[in-house]
Amino acid sequence: MLAKKKVQASEWIEVVALKDIPKLGSRVIKTDVMNIAVFRTAKDEVFAVKDQCPHKQGPLSQGIVHGSSVTCPLHNWKIDLASGQALGPDEGCTNIYPVRVEDERVYLKVPAG
Ligand code: FES
């Protein structure tokens, strides 16, 4: 009996050119199961976070980026983009995803689903 090829749980997918993400802004990548916000900081760091605030599901992609965090547009929670954790007195966490930049192109490891 032939062994079946193992299907990867997730794969790197090119999602957007770095220049197409505004500095201090984001681009939303829609997957079958969720929206992922890919943020670009002033230093051209890139982070991928589920586009859902841990407070009341506000769209983090519409927030303001400062340093390596984003302020939710609904009630101003600050979310650390590297960890997905709420900062300061607020508590909660949103999912983060592996993302990398190669030759000015952004690659995202999209969860299987
Ligand atoms: S939904 Fe983001 S701070 Fe309330």
Percent of the chain with pLDDT over 70: 90
Q: Does pLDDT of 7 surpass 80?
A: no
- CATH fold of 11-111 reads Rieske Iron-sulfur Protein (2.102.10)
pLDDT of residue 87: 97
- The best mutation among 55, 87, 90, 91 to test binding of ligand 1, ranked by most ligand atoms within 8 Å of the C-beta, falls on 55
Measured between alpha carbons, how far is 41 from 11 in angstroms, rounded to an integer? 24
Q: What is the dihedral of CA 111, 106, 100, 24, to 10 degrees?
A: -100
Q: Tell me: the pLDDT tens digits for 56-94?
A: 999 999 999 999 999 999 999 999 999 999 999 999 999
pLDDT of residue 2: 46
Q: Does pLDDT of 4 surpass 80?
A: no
Show me where the domains of the chain are located: 11-111
Measured between alpha carbons, how far is 45 from 66 in angstroms, rounded to an integer? 12
Instruction: Answer whether 72 contacts ligand 1 (Cβ < 6 A).
Output: yes
